[in-house]
Chain A
Amino acid sequence: MKFGVLVFPGSNCDHDAYHVLSKHVGQPVDFIWHRQTDLAGYDAVIVPGGFSYGDYLRAGALARFSPVMKAVKEFSAEGKFVFGICNGFQILCEAGLLPGALMRNSNLHFVCKHVNLRVENNRTPYTDEITESKVLSIPIAHADGNYVCDDETFQSLEENGQIVFRYCDENGEVNADSNPNGSRSNIAGICNLDRNVLGMMPHPERACEELLGSNDGREIFRSLANSIEALAA
């Protein structure tokens, strides 16, 4: 199994993702510069957090034109795994690999703190090692994490189980007080219909060490690794 971590000009969570995959998942990982156009040999690519292209125009709007993104689209169409975190989620929405868009936080603040996430669907390759409704403590760090979509999209996300994580309180209660950015229906992470593309605003790669306050993020990366292994078997 081999992971790739995309690197755009302005990515800054690429090394964290690399660290977690190599140390805690224990699998080979490569950095993939955004000008690369071949993803052969990889089982999953991480689209990491950061500020690709300085967030110019809109967060993620310019990264989607990087040469590697054409390869990422083909890669995802083959059913391989594409995991966007924070800016990576924004890029995947801009690229049309996930529905909806991420706008400026409704409170206008850059919010950097640990939040609680409820696992809404544990029948995805990214969450199948996690108990449904389990509450994960994972940090967010963003100014543009306010998930928006039209009613029709929202309904199809609900019906198809594509809402994977919601912001909640420590008891798993999804309410307005636990919504850090104004996201529709407290949405923190969604997947595509085929379940191989996941995007989330919180940073699981920053929650993989006891020292950092939580290692709940490991469960997501390990679920993904086990899913890749199951596919290969």
Chain B
Amino acid sequence: MKAKVYVTLKQGVLDPQGKAIHHSAELLGFEKIGDIRQGKYFEITLDQGLSAKEALETAEKIAKDVLANPVIEDFSVVIDETAAESA
């Protein structure tokens, strides 16, 4: 079982890295891009014995306590029950 954790900047927090990436994408000729914001993605492999609910609670706690800084970031967690333990 895997937890997929997405950490993103809160709305309103400026993202200079995302801006620079946006600029590069435009230089490559991509058009109609409104905005690019950079975030972080984590995969947490969890014990297969956990229920989906337990897995979600564990991953959310890790995200809240370690992966995201609540001053500037939000997070979301998706549990993938089909993912093998040793990917």
Binding site for B on A (CB under 8 A): 57-58, 61, 65, 93-94, 99-101, 103-108, 146, 148-150, 182
Pairwise interchain contact B14-A100, C-beta atoms closer than 8 A: no
Pairwise interchain contact A148-B69, C-beta atoms closer than 8 A: no
Of the candidates B13, B17, B67, the one whose C-beta lies within 8 Å of that of A148 is B13
Pairwise interchain contact B16-A104, C-beta atoms closer than 8 A: yes
Of the candidates A57, A100, A106, the one whose C-beta lies within 8 Å of that of B71 is A100
Q: In the complex, given contacts A93-B71, A103-B14, A108-B20, what are 16 additional A-B residue pairs having Cβ atoms less than 8 angstroms apart?
A: A57-B67, A58-B69, A61-B66, A61-B69, A99-B71, A100-B71, A101-B71, A103-B13, A103-B72, A106-B14, A107-B16, A108-B16, A146-B16, A148-B13, A148-B72, A149-B71
Chain B positions within 8 Å of A101 at CB level: 69, 71-72
Chain B positions within 8 Å of A100 at CB level: 71
Closest CB in chain A relative to B49 CB, distance in Å: 26
Chain A positions within 8 Å of B66 at CB level: 57, 61, 65
Chain A positions within 8 Å of B72 at CB level: 101, 103, 148
Binding site for A on B (CB under 8 A): 13-14, 16-17, 20, 66-67, 69, 71-72
Closest CB in chain A relative to B81 CB, distance in Å: 27
Q: Which 8 pairs across A and B sit closest by C-beta, in order of nearness? A: A101-B71, A101-B72, A106-B16, A108-B16, A101-B69, A104-B16, A108-B20, A104-B17
Chain B positions within 8 Å of A106 at CB level: 14, 16
Cα distance A171–B2 when bound, in Å? 57
Cα distance A103–B14 when bound, in Å? 9
| CB nearest neighbor in B for A94 | B69
| CB nearest neighbor in A for B67 | A57
Cα distance A108–B71 when bound, in Å? 20
Closest CB in chain A relative to B62 CB, distance in Å: 12
Pairwise interchain contact B17-A108, C-beta atoms closer than 8 A: yes
Cα distance A101–B72 when bound, in Å? 7
Closest CB in chain A relative to B16 CB, distance in Å: 5
